[in-house]
Structure 1
């Protein structure tokens, strides 16, 4: 059964699309993870709020393993997604650990890693408990799990089912060196209040980073050989109209009539800045691109149905129909181009 979501979207039903997006976003996510982890102290705690299928945290796991190791806590309100995220991130952490050629403890800025992993539940007193047992096992959300060959994992992974709009969220999680939320805050009723809660989860000196905004993804040539040229521009306009309705349909929605950097400043963060990472897969694109574009356009067709002309709906139907002469899967001019923007600040 899917967890409660404020936007009334069945995110578990979108698992295939989320996996595909994670695949094509991988180069950008890797660059973002490396840039953010470089800001952190040795053996940090990273919390991925609204983790989805776990794509971003697989890159956090790799970046942490390349430095001093650490702990990743995955948080989502949808149990199906959380289970898949935990599986994927644990696998990435294990691969990264296996790739450490000499097997010796890694250092960060010349310091040996410290063990200060913390359990995700309970109060602030409880999270001060040491995460290592005397027999070399590691504590996880499920209990005590033996590590490979009696050696502690470089990167520990835990999962917590929680609602990001819950005002008690800071009491459910340990203080983090990095709090990450990707394209999730805009689905919550009060975005500013949510950012304030994320800030409260960060420890003093910790980083809060949001992936929001950026440049909309393009994947189609301007003239498709059917219908009126410029279909993708109209699809993006229809998506924007759907988004307005989605926000309006969230119970208790609160407007946020200013940009993300200002929202971070209003939450009390210092040194607020932004950067973007390019997602660029030129035509004909890698394997699987046509399937991803099909999923992407199918979603836009659903969202924009009431905001498109009959001609555009017919064009979309032809592009998405495997039996059509214009089926997009037969094209060699599909591509994927866009940008992910990250807004970040540090808790004073």
Structure 2
């Protein structure tokens, strides 16, 4: 089973769900990436640590291309995720409108090139069975989206000066950042990004320090951690006892505590992320949040996301909820049942992404 080293979650088996979440959050990813990249100098190096299925990798790739180019290094402990993330970043540049770009005309992508001091993992599938199918499906969906984006794409009008995207070098590194300092496997970075990754490490403070180790003087570390939970369901669903989602979220908090307590060499971090950044030597610490708001009624794609999200939440806490709640979930997630969540016009998505950042002196 392909899993992160420390949390025993089969991340390769969740590629499809991760891609759905990336699609939902794409506008927010693009806004956050643009906001961070515009603070960087020319041709910066960005490290996406724990790149997952590549949602932010894609956003950073496009932001870099419009910023004048640079290097994007994707790091993950799961080879199947690196494969999909590299594809997502490459395709994002290919389908980005060139008229919005900045920088000199250049080849759009120099993918997976060797860089001094970087251990590069080629973007090729190394998985078998279910994980292989997840990777191939994700690749096909990403490539299909790129092909669709080119249909009907206009050309600059008379007298318009076409502007090409600047070069972005995309590298991938297969590494577990809990086992090796990031500066040992990537070049010095102007920005290190890590989203919902550090809380999976046994020693979160040491994990932050490991990420900081890869920064250049003046470089920025940006973490997505501690975001409010996402809510999707009405209080009373007409199935089981009202308040199902609240109980699932409470059970997930309990599960998270159990997961961390069961980690080898786990260390508590009894303070907030802003203090963790300061303890790692960063200055000018700050944070900002972006709302994820899809009011009811939802279109089919976002309803599908809600179904997958609740199914994942339910499977994670299955042993921590009552039989009544398990029975209610079975009904709500059954596509042939009239109570199926995917048929409801009152489900929604409301959450936030909170980014904590700081700068190395």
- TM-score category, normalised to shorter length: 0.7 to 0.9
Structure 1 counterpart of 2:117, from 113, 118, 122: 122
Shift of 1:3: 5.6
Mapped pair 1:288 → 2:301: yes
| 1:201-240 pair list within 5 angstroms | 201-240=214-253
The secondary structure found in structure 1 opposite 2:245 is helix
Tell me how far 1:121 sits from its aligned partner: 5.6
**Structure 1 gap segments, 5+ residues each:** 107-116, 128-139, 144-150
| Structure-2 change in CA distance of 1:242 and 1:4 (3 Å) | closer
Pairs within 5 Å for 1:293-312: 293-312=306-325
Cα offset, 1:232, TM superposition: 1.0
SS at match of 2:43: coil
Corresponding residue for 1:190?
A: 203
Checking the alignment, whether the CA contact within 8 Å between 1:269 and 1:345 is kept in structure 2 is yes
Once the 2 structures are TM-superposed, how far is the Cα of residue 317 of structure 1 from its aligned partner? Answer: 1.1
- Decide whether aligned partners of structure 1 residues 187 and 297 sit closer, same or farther in structure 2, where only a CA change above 3 A counts: same
In 1, the alpha carbon distance for the partners of 2:40 and 2:63 equals 11
The answer for the alignment partner of 1:5 in structure 2 is 5
Contact 1:119/1:141, CA 8 A, preserved across alignment: no
Matches within 5 A, 1:1-348: 2=2, 4-96=4-96, 99-100=98-99, 105=104, 119-120=114-115, 122=117, 154-348=167-361
Distance 1:278 1:214, change over 3 A: same
Post-superposition CA distance 1:181-204 (Å, at most 9, x none): 000000011110110010010100
Kept after mapping to 1: 8 A contact 2:68/2:103 = no
CA distance in 2, matches of 1:172, 1:121: 10
TM-score of the two chains, using structure 2 as the length reference: 0.82
Q: What do the CA deviations read for 1:141-170 (whole angstroms, capped 9, x no partner)? A: 659xxxxxxx99522211110111123331
Shift of 1:324: 1.6
SS of the residue corresponding to residue 215 of structure 1 reads coil
Deviation at 1:307, TM superposition (A): 2.2
Structure 1 residues 104 and 78, CA gap change in structure 2 (3 angstroms): closer
Please report how far the alpha carbon of residue 122 of structure 1 lies from its aligned counterpart in structure 2 after TM superposition. Answer: 2.5
1:315 Cα deviation from its structure 2 partner = 1.2
Q: Distance in 2 between matches of 1:104 and 1:159?
A: 24
Corresponding residue pairs, total: 316
Cα distance change of structure 1 residues 284 and 122 upon mapping to structure 2, 3 Å threshold: same
- Residues 102, 42 of structure 1: alpha-carbon distance in 2 compared, 3 angstrom cutoff: closer
Q: Distance in 2 between matches of 1:35 and 1:103?
A: 15
Q: Which residue of 2 aligns with 1:130?
A: none
SS in 2 for 1:53: coil
Aligned-residue offset at 1:287? 3.2
Q: Distance in 2 between matches of 1:120 and 1:250?
A: 34
Where does structure 1 differ by over 4 angstroms across 4 or more consecutive aligned residues?
A: 101-104, 117-121, 140-143
Alpha carbons 1:118, 1:174 under 8 Å: kept: no
Q: Aligned equivalents of 1:58 and 1:191: distance in 2? A: 26
| 8 Å contact kept, 2:113–2:171 | no
Q: Deviations over 1:205-240 (max 9, x none)?
A: 000000001110011111112222211111110111
Distance 1:199 1:19, change over 3 A: same
Shift of 1:66: 1.8
Query: Any unmatched runs of 5+ in structure 2?
Result: 106-111, 124-163
CA RMSD of aligned residues (A): 2.4
Contact 1:3–1:79 (8 Å) recurs in 2: no
Matches of 1:313 and 1:275, distance apart in 2: 36
- Does the C-alpha gap of structure 1 residues 62 and 281 become closer, same or farther in structure 2, counting only changes over 3 Å? same
- 1:109 is matched with which residue? none
Note the alpha carbon deviations across 1:35-78, whole angstroms, 9 max, x for none.
11121111111100000011011111121222212111000010
CA positional deviation for 1:21: 0.6
